[in-house]
Structures are given as C-alpha cells and as structure tokens.
Structure 1
C-alpha cells in the first residue's frame, strides 16, 4: 500500500509540474510588444510559417544630437506594434521589436542595419531621420534584400526598391511652402541649414525654384550638426535683411539658433523663419517662447482635425504621459507600421518581394488623413500643411493642399526642376 500511494503521489507531482511548465511557456510567448524592448535570440524565424512571433527592427538615434527628434518616433512605432499585437498581430504572429541605437552616427546606422538583417533576421526595419542616415543604410538594404520604412520628410531625388518613404518628398513640403511664401510677398530668402545632404539638396531645389519665380537667394549658410554658436550667422542675417529665413537645421542646433536669435532681439514679428525639421517635439525641447509666430511646413500636426488623430493623440498620451506631444515624423512612423501590416496581410507573407508587390495602391486612414502607397516609387500621397507655432507649443494650421498630393520625388512635373530631376 505504501508503495502504491508513493507511486500515485509521484505521478500527480509530475503531472502538476508539466502543467505549470506549459502555463509558463504560454505566458512568455503571448507577452506584448512593449516587453520586447531589446534584441532576443533568433530561435523563431520571422518569415517561417511556424512560430509565434515575427521580428521587426526599430533603428533610430536614441543618443547624440538627433535624439531630441528620434526618440519620439521610436515611441510611436512601439505604440503601433503594441496596438497591433493587442488586436491579434500580423498573420497570426505577435510582432517582436528589436531596438537599436543609431547614435546620430551614419556609419553606425549602416552597421546596425546589417546586424538587424543578417543576425536578427528581422522581416522589416522602421528607422532613420536624417538623409545621411538613410543614405548610409540604403546600400545595406539593397545588398541584403531587406526592407526599410523611412518616416521623415526629405529632399527627394531618390527612389530605392528597398525603401518605403512615409514622410514627405520635396513636392509635398518644400516646394509648396516656398510657393506659399512667395504668395505672401516674400522675395528675398536667406537659406540656413545643417551641413549634410538634406539641407544642401533642399536648398539647391529652393534656389532653382526662386530663380524661376523671380525671387532671390541672398545668402546660404551651413553649420555642422550639433553646432551651437550662431552669433556670426545672426549678424549676417541682420546685415542681409532678408524677407524670410528658410531653415533646414536639424537636431539640437535649432535650440541654439532660436535662443540666440531671440537674445539678439529678433522675433517672428521682425523676421519670419520657416522650418521643415521643427515639429511639436522640437518646439517643446527649444521652448515655445523662442518660436511663437514662426512658421513650419509639414503634413501633420497634433491639432490636425481628423477622427483618427483624436484617437491617436489620446492613445499616445495615455501610453507615454499627458505632457507628451505628437508630431509629423512620429505620426509617419506610426503610419508606416500599419502600412507594413496591411501589405503583409494582403500578400499573405512576410517575404520582402511579395510585400512590395502587395503594397501598391494600399490606402489607410492615418491620423494625418487618407494616405495611399504609390506603387511606382514607394512614397505615399500626403496632404501638405503650413502652420504657425503658438505660445502653448501647439501649431495652428494656416493653409493646406486640400487633398493628398501625389509624390513626385524627382520633380518631373516642374519645368524649372528639369536640371535637378535626373534619376530613376
């Protein structure tokens, strides 16, 4: 009897331990995206038919001069992933983000992109901000046949089969903003930018546009990313007496420039600036007092009046805090995750070629309004918006294009840009 009782007890104990082990495994596999904030082992292939998860890369500058802008993009992409996972995931799989820091260093972006594709075997990557970071990553994605979703407005003149561009191209931000200024009587432009590919190419386009419209570029100045002393340039601005400063500075250089501009006694009432890399997040970092009345050109603001945006802003603040703000690049990053999901589900596969083919013509009601993927160049149709910075740090829309604008990255529809629009 004792032996029989012992045997029964042993069987019961083993059964209980197996049940507990199985429960523990289920809890781990079904954990949400927000708990997967660091790289994990590649035990489950993202493109395999089996397994519970699919890995995606998140690659932004979480340190260095660009962190002021890029951290919030990471946050919005993670929120999209969390929402999608809560709704059942993609093709029955939970999305597992593998997060890397580009550290505001372009070779590091290329290195981390290679790691994500080669070692982590991610299905796609959401990342970048500066064009320098994108240009560094582009050959890696083309070589390894990966897929990058790039969320920030840029200078155009590019279209890679391995990149989806969910931020504005030139005819969806820069060109219409210059036209807006010309209509307001601004004829003398002072061009100020950071010294890398986006500002230099953008200003090359602006100069051609101004020359064709009978306006004038009276000065053009560049500083290195992270530059903090603008006293000399502000003196040049005072001497040149422009109608407007067109600002393509990026990162925390904007903090120094606008604070020193105000210290020099220059407000928006004295001299208008138009910025294409300052959104709500940067306004918060610089201080609204330094920016009141200045203009910005984007495709989305926290104040954009759509039902989807009201829900988006509410959810973002609930997720990250009531003091957080939303902005154009982070909305484009959020939109990118949902567009990828839609393309994957239409393709019925995570394979890059199938996702690209399925993406053509996909529409989605984003917080900024309806967006559509252009199958010819993998950019998206976007509504253009000009806004004015307010004392509370929010941006009031002054003008919009009325409907989404078809992306024209090579400016083929503009006669004055014929010498600029070479490319395939």
Structure 2
C-alpha cells in the first residue's frame, strides 16, 4: 500500500470472498465445486490465489477446484465449456467464478448457452461484468447469472437517482450518442465518491498541499449512490464498501438478490494467504 494512494475499488473481502460465500450458502445454491476462470493477467490470478486458499479453509479440496485462464480477446470457449460441463456432471453442485475481462465475456456466455448450461444448473458469478458490458449484448444466455459489485444502477434511492440524472444531463450536453439511455456502473460510482471525498478533504485542509489533503482524507464520509454512507479508512486508505450481488435481467440491469447490511472494512492483505497475518496496510 502507498500512503499517497486512496483506493476506491473493492478489496477481495468486499467482492470476491462474499460472492463465493453466497454461492456456498443455501440461498445461493449450495455450491461444493468451483471453476475459477479468468483472463490471463495479474488480477484474475491474484484473486484466484486468494479464492483457492479461502475455499481450502472451508474444506473444499483441490479436486473440487478447476482453474483455467485465457488470453485477452479470447473467443473460442467450446473446449473450456465442455470441460466445465464434464466437471459439473461429476455429482456435486458446481459454480463458476469468472474474472474474464472485456469482450471475451460475450463468446463465453454465448457458448455457455449453446451448451445448455443454465444459471440454475451452473451459476456464474462475475467480477468484471456490469451494466456497461451488457449494453447492446443479447442477454438471453446471461439471464439469472450473477455479478458481485458494490453498486448497481438499479438500486432505488434519491442519491442514485440524482447520480443517474446528472450523468445523463452531462452526456446530453456533450452530445454523447443515446445520452438518454447511457448507464452508470460500479467503477463510475467509485470514482464519483473518490472525487467528492478529495473535494471535501481539500475544503477541510483549506489547501491542495498533498500532505495536508492526505491527512484530511482519512475518515471522510460520503452518502454514495449505492445508498450507503461510505467512509475512507484512515489506516489502510481503502473505502468501507457494501457488497451487492445482482442477477442479470433481460434489460441488461441487475436485480439485487443479496447485500450486506452495512459497509465492510477492506482487508487489503487477504488473511487467507500465508504471510499476510496481521497486516493492515499503512
């Protein structure tokens, strides 16, 4: 962790771990076997290292975890989906944890549908699929599959309505195509919160001096479009964030099927990885 950086995105315990806990729960289908499928770069590999250790702590054996990676832009998922189908047919309830990034999600979900793997049979929870990724995509193969984020555009509260209205007004003013139907998403909300907290910190410090603003950032709060009041942690510089799990709808939005009651403090150093015990960050 770097003292000059304030982190507005999710730490593993604010997205990946709760998503897998949900899949393992009775409400989430009671998964016993897991496919960890991602794009081949540092984020998916690090997330899956943490998830593998977490699953092991819950008594899931290596034989019940299938881990696979594909390059950026990968489009041919036939072989991988066939492996998932075979893996899922071996008797235990199976779920897929997807850290597939970008355009590869379209052929992945399409092939999932072609293979007849419905969300009720093998649910997929994704950490990189949100409202923007679903724009203009045929959602039929995705219906019922899940995404874990800290915000969804569909949440109903005054802060979110104002956030969406302001973004669409900006889009219209700047001649963005289809300005009336542009969508918000989790990374946008995280950035919006971060900028407002920086503004508040500058006002508190009465200066844009870096060290003074850093000192003023810790403990800043902001009522976010998620509907929760978020706090910037003064120790590890991560936002305390709620966790929401959403189910894909036909219109490319999400129905929230589970959420935390309050924001969760980030664990930048996952306690499930050896050597991280007791690390809190700054």
Mark yes or no: TM-score above 0.5.
yes
Q: Give CA deviations for 1:313-370 in whole Å, capped at 9, x if unaligned.
A: 1222233212211111111111111111111111112122111111010001111121
- Decide which of 99, 124, 139 is 1:288's aligned counterpart: 139
1:66-101 deviation per Cα after TM superposition (whole angstroms, max 9, x unaligned): xxxxxxxxxxxxxxxxxxxxxxxxxxxxxxxxxxxx
Question: Which runs of 5 or more residues in structure 2 are unaligned?
Answer: 172-178
Q: Does 1:163 align with 2:8?
A: no
| Counterpart for residue 230 of structure 1 | 77
Does 1:314 find its partner at 2:165? yes
Partner of 1:187 in structure 2?
Answer: 32
> SS state of the match for residue 163, structure 1?
coil
Q: Provide the residue aligned with 1:352 in structure 2.
A: 210
Paired residues for 1:365-384 under 5 Å = 365-368=223-226, 369-384=228-243
Question: Is residue 197 of structure 2 the alignment partner of residue 339 of structure 1?
Answer: yes
TM-score (norm 2): 0.88
Q: List aligned pairs for 1:234-253, cutoff 5 A.
A: 234-241=81-88, 243-253=94-104
Aligned length in residues? 262
Question: Relative to structure 1, is the Cα distance of residues 291 and 420 closer, same or farther in structure 2, using a 3 angstrom cutoff?
Answer: farther
Partner of 2:222: 364
Q: From 203, 210, 215, give the equivalent of 2:60.
A: 215
Partner residue in 1 for 2:187:
329
Alignment counterpart, residue 118 of structure 2, candidates 267, 276, 283: 267
Once the two structures are TM-superposed, the CA of residue 206 in structure 1 deviates from its matched residue by 0.7
| 1:218 CA drift (Å) | 2.5
1:262-289 deviation line (CA, Å, top 9, x unaligned): 2233222332100011111112253322
Partners of 2:247 and 2:269 in 1: CA distance: 28
Answer with 1 or 2: which has the greater Rg: 1
Distance in 1 between residues matched to 2:137 and 2:51, nearest whole Å: 26
- Contact between 1:193 and 1:221, CA under 8 Å: does it hold in 2? yes
Per chain length, whose mean CA-contact separation is higher, i.e. which structure has more relative contact order (CA < 8 Å, sep 6+)? 2
- How far did 1:203 drift? 0.6
Alpha-carbon distance between aligned partners in 2 of 1:255 and 1:349, rounded to the nearest angstrom: 47
Tell me the equivalent position of 1:203.
48
1:378-424 Cα offsets, whole Å, 9 max, x none, are: 10111111111111111011111100111111134xxxx15152665
Tell me if the contact between 2:53 and 2:273 (Cα under 8 Å) persists in the aligned partners.
no
Q: Would the aligned equivalents of 1:189 and 1:244 in 2 still touch at CA under 8 Å?
A: yes
Distance 1:396 1:235 in 2: 29
| Structure-2 separation of matches of 1:301 and 1:365 | 15
More helix as a share of residues: 1
The 8 Å contact of residues 254 and 286 in structure 1, kept in 2 or not, is answered as: no
Equivalent residue in structure 2 for 1:421, among 256, 259, 276: 276
- The residue aligned with 1:3 is none
Counterpart in 1 of 2:244? 385
TM-score (norm 1): 0.59
CA deviation after TM superposition for structure 1 residue 260, in Å: 2.0
The RMSD of aligned alpha carbons is: 1.6
Contact 1:170 1:408 in 2 (8 A): yes
